[in-house]
Each structure stands twice: as C-alpha cells, then as structure tokens.
C-alpha cells in the first residue's frame, strides 16, 4: 500500500514487558479495541476482609473454619495475572484469626501447565507467604496424586488432586476474564482443569473440539457446562473471584458460593473486558498480552481476533512466547503430530493414531480452524520457524511489514481493527450489545 500523502496514526501494542509501535492509515483504522481505564481498589486487604465477611450464597468464611481442619487454598499460576501476593495475606489472616490449629496448604491450580519454579512462586504469592506455608504444584499426569470421584452424567471421569479431596475446607482464589474455551475464566475452572487429572481435562477439551461455536465470552457452551457438572462432585467450599483492570490491578472482589460469586464477577468484568467494535475488520492486529509466556497462552489473541475478522481476512498476532509452543512436552508432541491437517480431520486422526492428549489436539484444531478462516501471520521473538510450521502460521518480520503485506492482499480500502489486550479481551460487534 502506497502511504505517500496519507495521514498515518501510530499505534502502540503491549508486547511482553515493553511496547511495539506501527503506523496505520488513519482513514483505514476502524477501531483500537482496548479495555477502559477504571479505578482500582485502594485498600485490597480491607476489600478482601469485606468480601469474605459478606459473601454470596455461603456463611462468612470465618464460620466455615474449625480447629484441627485441613485447609487447602487453591490459587492460579503464573499464566494468570491475579495478584495473589495482594490477596493471600488478608485471606490467610482471616482464616487463622479463628484458630491457629490448622493444617494449611496452598495448591497451585496449574492445570496442564508446567510446574512453577521456586522463584516464580515467590513472585506470585510474595516472599513471606512462600516462606511460611507449604506450597504445592498440581501434577496433572501423576496418578498417585489423584483420586477418582466417579463420572459426570456426560461420562467424564473425575480425577482430582488428592489434597483437595482430603481437605476439610477448600478455598479458591482466581481471576475473572473472558476465556477462549470455558467462556469465562474463574469460578469452577480452578477445579477443572486447575486440579484435575489428564482423563478429566481431555474430556472437557474434547467437548470444545467438537463445538461448532466460538466460546469466548459465552457461558452457554458445552465445556463450561461440563466443568460445572464436575465441580458438583468436588469439594470447593468458598471462592474469591478477582476482576482486574488493564494494568493487572484489582477492581472488584466477589466471594462466596463458587457459581454465584463467579456469575456476579462476570457481570462486573463485562464492563471492562467485553468491548464493542463497530463492524468486522478486513485486517485485525492483535497482541496476546497478557498471555505471553507461550503459544498455549498466546493463541488467546487469535480467539479474540476470530470474532471480528472477515472470512478471508488477515490476522496479525504479536506474541513473545519465550517458552515457544508450550512448557508441556506432551502438548507439543500432539500438536506436531497434527501439523498440516485440516481442522475437521484432526480429532479423527488423533483417535486413529491413539493420541490421548486431547488438550493438545484441541489447540491444534483451533489453530487450524483460524488458519482456515483467515491468513494468520505472527510476530514473535520466541517461536521458531519450525514452531510456526507446526502451527501453520506465516512469520512476520515486523508488525509493520505484516500490515503492509495484509494491505496488498486485502486492498487499499481494507479496514483495520487493533486489539491491545487479546489475551483477556472479548470484542463484540456493537449491534450484539443492544
């Protein structure tokens, strides 16, 4: 596209710990989709105390604590922005003010992600909490650490971390944002996939694989419904859901019965993370921020772009991915085995080959599905050429170069949408919000 004499707008995208900049023609720029600035909580500790003393659907947390209990506190891992170091001190004090005669463990609900390192744990929970409490990474593939609790009506086997099933009191702390598979993060998701085994997680991801609709921002999807069936049979007594702003600061805390508190937090989060766009774009430029650690998180940017790009359009994804496709080797192997296949063939081929890692296959299905919808190019320091071959995406040497190439394909009148926080944001056509 010849930009001589054309008025340009410089656009900034979050990228890892820094920013990327590129120029777009002003007349072509349809929208920059970003979460609004909102006021964060001034006193997080006071708000934690208020939330757990005035919960939805349960007695106050103090009334659930008894001397001699085994207490498990579930937290999300370093792929999530929830500032556990701000929430946990007040939460644990509230519990221990009732009695010190407790066996408290913190279990990191990491799902199928790799284990957090000691340094990562200290950054996540704070040095004092890390030094004073037993903190355990969930191990999804370690059968010895799992207990079988039966099956759901849909036939999903329920394997759950033994620490959860043996606890007298299970309290969870997570964050509520739109989620590409479960519709919304938070609530029951801290159990599945958070602390479940491979058999359980494979089944819920298989439901996503066969679903004909994108799930981002929708609670009425088969995966979320199955997750909530699972939680009916798993101990989860009390939940704190945090809603964050674009800077990772806490704006709302909703505590209480897991489903009620989650639904309320979703309503509050919509004002920040569900953002209208005026029309579909020919070209969508999206940052995966804050889902930057690997493609397993970075693909969330493609889920967001998928909702607002025209069929046959261009998506340009900026995602650092320092840990490449995934920190879980089994997922990489499964996705590599699916490389080059059409999305509709992948689950059948996985079954034929005896591939059991359906979570990995599901991610391959989504990447292929979006490749079939639009041309996808990726700017990334971490993903190798071989990684991009597996994913079926083109390499962008810069976002600017990719945008120029997209204009050559889409034409000089192509409309461009930019999504700044694609890892968490759910763009919605404005007409659907009426």
C-alpha to C-alpha distance for 109 and 219, rounded to whole angstroms: 21
The predicted model gives 226-245 an average pLDDT of: 96
Q: Flag whether pLDDT at 363 surpasses 80.
A: yes
C-alpha to C-alpha distance for 363 and 369, rounded to whole angstroms: 10
Task: Specify whether the backbone of 186 is left (phi greater than 0), alpha (psi in -120 to 50) or beta.
Answer: left
Q: Flag whether pLDDT at 19 surpasses 60.
A: yes
Q: What percent of the chain has pLDDT over 90?
A: 94
Mean of the per-residue pLDDT values for the chain?
95
pLDDT in tens, 78-100: 989 999 999 999 999 999 999 99
* Predicted local confidence at residue 2, as pLDDT: 64
The predicted model gives 101-113 an average pLDDT of: 96
* Predicted local confidence at residue 373, as pLDDT: 97
- Structural domains of the chain, ranges and CATH numbers in brackets: 8-33+278-433 (3.90.226.30), 44-271 (3.40.50.11440)
pLDDT in tens, 133-159: 999 999 998 999 999 999 999 999 999
pLDDT in tens, 23-81: 999 999 999 999 999 999 999 999 999 999 999 999 999 999 999 999 999 999 998 99
**pLDDT bracket for residue 208 (50, 70, 90):** confident
- Residues in a beta bridge with 172: 74, 239
pLDDT in tens, 285-329: 999 999 999 999 999 999 999 999 999 999 999 999 999 999 999
Q: What percent of the chain has pLDDT over 70?
A: 98
Residues 6+ apart with CB under 8 A from 270: none
pLDDT in tens, 387-427: 999 999 999 999 999 999 999 999 999 999 999 999 999 99
Is residue 428 classed as helix, strand or coil in its secondary structure?
strand
The predicted model gives 330-340 an average pLDDT of: 96
**pLDDT bracket for residue 6 (50, 70, 90):** confident
Quick one: how far is CA 187 from the chain centroid? 13
C-alpha dist (Å) from residue 30 to 160, 239, 277, 281, 292? 46, 40, 8, 7, 25
Q: Flag whether pLDDT at 433 surpasses 70.
A: no
- CB burial readout 139-164, b (16+ within 10 A) else e: ebeeeebbeebebbeeebbbbbbebb
C-alpha dist (Å) from residue 299 to 148, 365, 428? 31, 12, 18
The predicted model gives 209-224 an average pLDDT of: 90
Q: 337: part of which helix (H) or strand (E)?
A: helix 329-337
* Predicted local confidence at residue 432, as pLDDT: 63
Structural contact between residues 290 and 300, judged by C-beta atoms closer than 8 angstroms: no
Is residue 161 classed as helix, strand or coil in its secondary structure?
strand
The predicted model gives 352-365 an average pLDDT of: 94
C-alpha to C-alpha distance for 190 and 352, rounded to whole angstroms: 32
* Predicted local confidence at residue 185, as pLDDT: 95
């Amino acid at each position: 596209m010849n930009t001589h004499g054309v008025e340009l707008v410089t656009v900034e995208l979050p990228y890892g710990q820094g920013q990327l900049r590129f120029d777009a023609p002003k007349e072509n720029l349809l929208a920059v989709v970003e979460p609004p600035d909102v006021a964060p909580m001034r006193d997080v500790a006071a708000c934690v105390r208020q939330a757990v003393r005035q919960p939805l659907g349960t007695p106050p947390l103090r009334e659930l604590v008894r001397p001699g209990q085994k207490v498990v506190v579930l937290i999300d891992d370093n792929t999530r922005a929830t500032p556990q170091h701000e929430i946990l001190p007040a939460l644990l004090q509230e519990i221990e003010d009732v009695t010190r005669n407790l066996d408290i463990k913190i279990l990191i609900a990491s799902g199928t992600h790799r284990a957090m390192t000691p340094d990562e744990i200290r950054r996540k929970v704070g040095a004092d909490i890390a030094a004073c409490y037993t903190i355990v990474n969930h191990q999804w593939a370690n059968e010895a650490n799992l207990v079988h609790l039966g099956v759901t009506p849909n036939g999903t086997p329920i394997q759950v971390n033994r620490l959860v099933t043996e606890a007298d009191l299970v309290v969870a702390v997570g964050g509520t944002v739109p989620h590409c598979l479960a519709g919304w993060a938070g609530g029951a998701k801290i159990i599945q996939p958070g602390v479940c085994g491979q058999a359980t997680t494979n089944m819920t991801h298989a439901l996503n694989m066969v679903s004909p609709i994108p799930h981002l921002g929708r609670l009425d999807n088969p995966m979320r419904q199955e997750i909530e069936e699972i939680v009916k049979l798993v101990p989860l007594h009390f939940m704190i859901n945090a809603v964050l702003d674009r800077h990772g600061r806490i704006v709302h805390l909703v505590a209480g019965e897991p489903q009620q508190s989650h639904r309320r937090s979703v309503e509050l989060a919509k004002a920040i993370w569900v953002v209208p766009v005026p029309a579909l774009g020919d070209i969508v430029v999206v940052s995966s921020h804050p889902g930057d650690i690997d493609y397993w998180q970075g693909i969330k940017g493609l889920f967001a772009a998928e909702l607002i790009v025209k069929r046959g359009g261009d998506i340009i994804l900026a995602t650092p991915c320092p840990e490449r496709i995934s920190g879980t080797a089994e997922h990489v192997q499964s996705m590599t085995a699916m490389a080059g296949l059409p999305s509709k063939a992948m689950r059948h081929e996985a079954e034929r080959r005896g591939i059991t890692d359906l979570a990995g296959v599901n991610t391959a299905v989504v990447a292929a599905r979006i490749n079939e919808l639009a041309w996808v190019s990726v700017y990334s320091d971490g993903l190798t050429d071989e990684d991009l071959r597996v994913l079926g995406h083109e390499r962008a040497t810069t976002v600017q170069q990719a945008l120029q190439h997209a204009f050559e394909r889409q034409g000089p009148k192509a409309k461009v949408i930019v999504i700044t926080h694609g890892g968490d944001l759910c763009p919605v056509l404005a007409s659907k919000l009426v």
